[in-house]
Amino acid sequence: MDIQCRAVNHGPKAVLRIILTPSTRNNLQHRPTPTPLRDHPHPCVCVLLTKVQFSHLRFLGIVTRMNSRTMTPTGIPPELVLEILTYISDGHKNLSACCLVCRTWRRLAQPSVFSELSLSLESHCHPWNQKFTTYPHLSQYVTRLNLWGGNWEEADDVLSPESQPTFLEGPATLELLRRLPNIKYLKMHDFALPSERKIEALSHFARLEWLGMYEVVFNETEALLDLMSQLVNLKGLHIKDVRVASHASKDLIGPILHDHVDAVPKRLRNLKLQDSGASLYIFSWLSGGVFNLSDLTDLTLSWGCSPTNHHPPLPYQLPSYVDPFISIVGARIKHLRLNIETPDFNAKSNINYMFEHFIAVRALSSFIGLETLNVDSINRYNNNDVRRLVDIERLLQHLMLPCLQKICVTMRFALNTADDLPSYKELPLWARLDALLAGSKFPSFQQLKLIIHVESFHWDAHKFGLWFEDSNSDDEDDSSTIVIPPLVTKHPWPEHPPTVDDVAALIAEQLPTLASRGCLLFCPDKMHRS
């Protein structure tokens, strides 16, 4: 039997009608419709998916499994199965369940089930080697590899981390890595790479296109250069806290990395540098002969604050390292993301040296082709206060960006009293920002997207007051009740705390020019949604 799927539109929701017809071609290999690529699904599938909700597609899988004795599951077109798999959430568990529907579903789901592999201990590699020995084709599906150094996970009861070979040097790890010829995405966390054997183990991923290095220490410049020289197809690079623990002076590391020329320079398209202020020589490395940055269009820079009582960068350091890099990449960047840690307005003990330098030298003036600008906090769980919009103004003033179309800013509104929302209305930055973005310096500007996080944790406590018992001893007679009365505010307390919609209405009122042009878009912060 074949299954025909028809989407019938009845009002706002579609109904999936399943009709059983006699099967004429049960063999999947002889189906006239070939399995399409993910980016180009069959036109009939596109029409179906625009009308059918995902809940209906999940129901389709259940019906297929329940009636597997009376109908042929391969009657479902493989292109529809592939589309169903792309909607599967909760990762490995649900994808593994899809493998149990039938052989066709298993064959189509296995590439997704085995696409990503995470390793942190030598003992983890033994079962994978056994599995790939029994089923060699499964290793071909692994395209993403996560390597965790520093014994991130607990070892089993048989082998403690101390009794195991050093990760990336043991025979089981080396055997497993050689079995993975199709790795395109590699993440490395918390590694020290002092040995040639570790570098050699990572250097055979000839198809690697994306590399993420987080808290990785190289013992010398040659180790970093040797690793990168093998990755000839690299297109994306993410770096956080990458250091070279060389015996040479720090002032010599930058020139050594910069002057090295690879036989095949890496043509990066996407680059993310997180908190690279402690290793400024990374900028020299990126602007040297190892890379060809003519294709780089996406750049993310993440900068944290530093205590002012620590040694700040020397006056010559930021211009000599950062400015040459910006001058090389600026004109080609189309999409720039700045993840910035901003100090509190009342705190004078911290400063973001990198961001202040970026503003002082008007670094954005080099980004003449910039189309989108995203400004966010370096910590997604602690958004910058809306008052830090003044930093956006400082960043963009005195500049002309003819191609800039969209700006996206994530910001926090602390609304714990009835006076907080009106106080945001009185900020003078609104008028200046409205005039700046609507002015002639940004002729292509189309949209200011504001992702809003509303905090009102203490609203009820301030509105209704608090009372609690305080006891200094076990004697109940010594206990006393402490009462904190409701907070007296200038404005009357509304029934409920302000919402994202209330904040959006306030902003639209304060940015009249952008609002009249339809340039404002408001979204709640999904990271903090209840």
Q: What are the structural domain ranges in the chain?
A: 2-113, 305-530
Least confident of 66-80, 239-253, 467-481: 66-80
**Cα 377–382–384 angle (5° rounding)?**
50
Residues 6+ apart with CB under 8 A from 274: 238, 239, 240, 241, 300, 302, 339, 378
Element (H, E) at 339: strand 335-340
What mean pLDDT do residues 394-416 have?
92
Cβ neighbours around 176 below 10 Å, total: 24
- Quote the CA–CA distance of 109 and 114 in Å, as a whole number: 9
Tell me the C-alpha distance between 426 and 398, whole Å.
Answer: 25
DSSP result, 480-529: EEEEEPPPP-SSPPPSS---HHHHHHHHHHH-HHHHHTT-EEEEE-GGG-
**């878009």: which residue's tokens?**
521
pLDDT tens figures, 447-481: 999 999 999 988 988 888 888 776 665 555 556 77
The residue with greater pLDDT, 236 or 468, is: 236
CA atoms within 13 A on the CB side of 341: 18
Residue 467 CB: number of other CB atoms within 10 A? Answer: 10
Total count of residues recorded for the chain:
530
pLDDT surpasses 80 at 22: no
pLDDT of residue 69: 43
Which H/E stretch holds residue 255? helix 250-259
Burial of 404 per CB tally in 10 Å (0-12, 13-18, 19+): buried
Q: Does residue 24 register a pLDDT over 70?
A: no
What does the mean pLDDT of the chain come to?
Answer: 79
Span 70-93, average pLDDT: 64
Overall average pLDDT of the 266-291 stretch: 89
CA distances from 345 to 333, 374, 383, 395, 429 (A): 31, 22, 14, 17, 15
Q: What is the amino acid identity at position 63?
A: V
Q: Which two tokens stand for residue 410?
A: 């994530």
Q: Which of 138-142, 198-202, 418-422 has the weakest average pLDDT? A: 198-202
Instruction: Give residue 196's pLDDT.
Output: 76
pLDDT > 60? residue 522: yes
Top mean-pLDDT range of 48-52, 154-158, 403-407, 416-420: 403-407
Tens-digit pLDDT profile for residues 129-168:
999 999 999 999 999 999 988 644 444 444 454 556 677 8
Q: Which of 64, 59, 54 is nearest to 102 (CA)?
A: 64
Q: List phi, psi (to 5°) of 335.
A: -130, 115
Strands (E), 442-494: 447-455, 466-470, 480-484
User: Residue 324: which residues within 8 A CB-CB, separation 6 or more?
Assistant: 283, 284, 287
Q: What's the whole-model pTM score?
A: 0.79
